[in-house]
């Protein structure tokens, strides 16, 4: 019910529109809340209000702006209402859906941290070192332990490069904090230890221990190499340089410096 005499001094000729808008909001909230009290409401649209005006002794400045038909509901009806209620997507879900349309799957984050503002360096660039690390303890995914020796060894390698104590075989390497340079190091470690024919892109396409272990089980064994006097290194090979060079906008300053040093040697 709207009382125009109370509204018109503030809203003037828009008083009726304001009342209709507010009534719509309140009606929506009521319909959402009353099932908790085993009640149901249904809007019934326009109706002849004049008999009601006389019945309740209402003045000409009072007008009906919304009407319901209500009553008790059964437990079965209440359950049906809960199942048909629209699910509201969180901000993280909307961001992930949007980024999935713009980025390769391995570059879409699963964890998002809201900041009041981005930390900047003295020259106005994003200060990556000042960014907070995501709180991995808030992840709700079930922790899955290694199921075989290969997964166990891969978990150890990921723990080494990510500096994370507990790694589930379903944890995404990027979500654990691994950057492009860490992925290069993991590639070198995996290729050296397991002697499989893999490409750098394969690491980015299999970013959990479980997926990487399945891929390695199917990958062909590399031919034995002749002994050399070289020592293990984390330097970039041409394939790695090409991959990182194509993603310069997504790598850190430390990675850029490593790329430049590698290019100067050529």
Where along the chain do its domains lie? 2-84, 91-264
Residues with Cβ within 8 Å of residue 41, at least 6 apart in sequence: 27, 30, 31, 34, 68, 69, 70
Bridge partners of residue 63, in order along the sequence: 2
What does the pLDDT read at residue 52?
78
What does the pLDDT read at residue 157?
92
How deeply is 106 buried, as exposed, middle or buried, from its count of CB atoms within 10 A (0-12, 13-18, 19+)?
middle
The whole-number average pLDDT for the span 56-73 is: 80
pLDDT digits (tens, 9 = 90+) for 170-221: 988 877 878 778 888 999 999 989 988 888 888 888 989 999 999 999 988 8
**Is the confidence at residue 59, as pLDDT, over 60?**
yes
Cα(87)–Cα(36) distance, integer angstroms? 18
The model carries a pTM of 0.46
Cα(162)–Cα(166) distance, integer angstroms? 10
- Alpha helices in 70-221, H assignment, sequence order: 75-84, 91-100, 149-162, 180-194, 200-205, 209-218
CATH number listed for the domain at residues 91-264: 1.10.1200.10
């Amino acid at each position: 019910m709207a009382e125009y005499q109370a509204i018109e001094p503030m809203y003037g000729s828009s008083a009726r529109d304001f009342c209709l808008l507010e009534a719509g909001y309140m009606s929506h909230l009521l319909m959402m809340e009353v099932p908790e009290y085993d009640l149901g409401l249904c809007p019934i649209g326009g109706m002849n209000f004049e008999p009601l005006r006389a019945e309740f002794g209402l003045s000409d400045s009072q007008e009906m702006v919304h009407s319901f038909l209500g009553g008790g509901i059964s437990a079965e009806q209440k359950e049906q209402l809960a199942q048909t209620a629209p699910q509201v997507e969180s901000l993280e879900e909307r961001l992930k859906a949007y980024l999935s349309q713009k980025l390769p799957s391995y570059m879409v984050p699963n964890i998002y941290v809201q900041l009041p503002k981005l930390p900047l360096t003295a020259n106005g660039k994003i200060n990556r070192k000042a960014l907070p690390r995501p709180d991995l303890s808030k992840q709700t995914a079930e922790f899955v332990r290694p199921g075989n020796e290969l997964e166990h060894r891969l978990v150890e390698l990921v723990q080494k490069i990510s500096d994370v104590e507990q790694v589930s075989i379903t944890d995404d390497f990027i979500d654990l904090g691994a950057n492009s340079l860490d992925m290069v190091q993991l590639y070198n470690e995996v290729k050296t230890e397991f002697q499989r024919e893999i490409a750098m892109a394969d690491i980015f396409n299999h970013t959990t221990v479980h997926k990487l272990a399945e891929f390695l089980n199917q990958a062909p064994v590399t031919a034995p190499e002749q002994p050399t006097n070289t020592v293990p290194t984390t330097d970039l090979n041409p394939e790695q340089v090409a991959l990182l060079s194509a993603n310069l906008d997504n790598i850190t300053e430390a990675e850029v410096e490593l790329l430049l040093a590698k290019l100067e040697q050529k």
